[in-house]
Amino acid sequence: MTTATKPQQATRRLTYVQAMNEVLAQEMERDPTVIVMGEDVAGGAGRKQFDEAWGGPFKLTQGLYKKFGPERVRDTPIAEAGFIGAGVGAAATGLRPVVDLMFVGFIGVCADQIFNNAAKMHYMFGGKVKLPLTIFTATGAGVGSAAQHSETLYALFAHIPGLKCVAPSNPYNAKGLMAAAIRDDDPVIVFNHKLLMGGVGGGQHVPKEPYTIPIGKANVAREGTDVTLVGISYTTYNCLQAADELARQGYSAEVIDLLSVSPMDDEAILNSVRKTKKIVIVDEDYPRCSVASDISALVAEEAFDVLDAPPKRLMAPHASVPYSPVLEDLFIPSKEKIVEAALGVLQ
Partner 1 sequence: MATTTVRGTIAKQKLIWMYETMVLIRRFEEQARREQDSGRLRGTHSAIGQEAVPVGICAHLRDDDFVLGNHRSHHHCIAKGVDVNEMMAELLGKVTGTNRGKGGTMHIADMNKGMLGANGVVGSNIPVATGVGLSARVRKTDQVSVVFFGDGAAQQGSLHESLNLAAIWKLPVLFVCENNRYAESTPFEYSVAGGSVANRAAGYGIPGVTVDGQSVLDMYEVGGEAVRRARAGEGPTLIEAQTYRYFGHYGADNPLGYRTKEEQEFYMAKDCIARMRKHLVENKFATEAELSGIDKKCTDAIVAATKFGVDSPFPKLDELTTDVYIKYP
Catalytic residue list: 149
173 binds partner 1, rule: CB under 8 A = no
Contact 61, 25 (CB under 8 A): no
Q: Which residues have CB under 8 Å from 259's CB, separation 6+?
A: 166, 167, 168, 169, 173, 177, 213, 217, 218, 219, 265
- Taking CB under 8 A as the criterion, the residue among 97, 171, 201, 311 binding partner 1 is 97
> Quick one: angle between helices 16-30 and 171-183, nearest 10?
30
Instruction: Return d(Cα 60, Cα 77) in angstroms, integer.
Output: 18
What are the strands, taking DSSP E only, across 276-318? Answer: 279-283, 312-315
234 binds partner 1, rule: CB under 8 A = no
219 binds partner 1, rule: CB under 8 A = no
Task: Indicate the DSSP class of residue 32.
Answer: T
Contact positions with partner 1 (CB under 8 A) in 308-347: none
- Taking CB under 8 A as the criterion, the residue among 53, 81, 247, 343 binding partner 1 is 81
Q: Identify which range of 144-152, 210-218, 226-234, 320-328 contacts partner 1 by CB under 8 A.
A: 210-218
291 binds partner 1, rule: CB under 8 A = no
158 binds partner 1, rule: CB under 8 A = no
- Taking CB under 8 A as the criterion, the residue among 8, 11, 49, 127 binding partner 1 is 127
95 binds partner 1, rule: CB under 8 A = yes
Separation of CA 91 from chain center: 21
What are the strands, taking DSSP E only, across 175-297? Answer: 188-193, 204-205, 219-222, 227-231, 253-257, 260-262, 279-283
- Taking CB under 8 A as the criterion, the residue among 68, 72, 179, 312 binding partner 1 is 72
Contact 128, 102 (CB under 8 A): no
Element (H, E) at 36: strand 34-38
117 binds partner 1, rule: CB under 8 A = yes
- Taking CB under 8 A as the criterion, the residue among 184, 226, 254, 285 binding partner 1 is 184
- Taking CB under 8 A as the criterion, the residue among 7, 44, 89, 344 binding partner 1 is 89
102 binds partner 1, rule: CB under 8 A = no
Q: How far is the CB of 76 from partner 1 (least distance, A)?
A: 7
Give 253's strand partners: 227
Residues touching partner 1, count (CB under 8 A): 50
Q: Which residues have CB under 8 Å from 197's CB, separation 6+?
A: 16, 17, 20, 58, 60, 138
- Taking CB under 8 A as the criterion, the residue among 6, 13, 59, 130 binding partner 1 is 130
Interface positions with partner 1 (CB under 8 A): 33, 35, 71-72, 74, 76-77, 79, 81-95, 97, 112-113, 116-117, 121-130, 161-162, 164, 184-186, 214-217, 260, 263
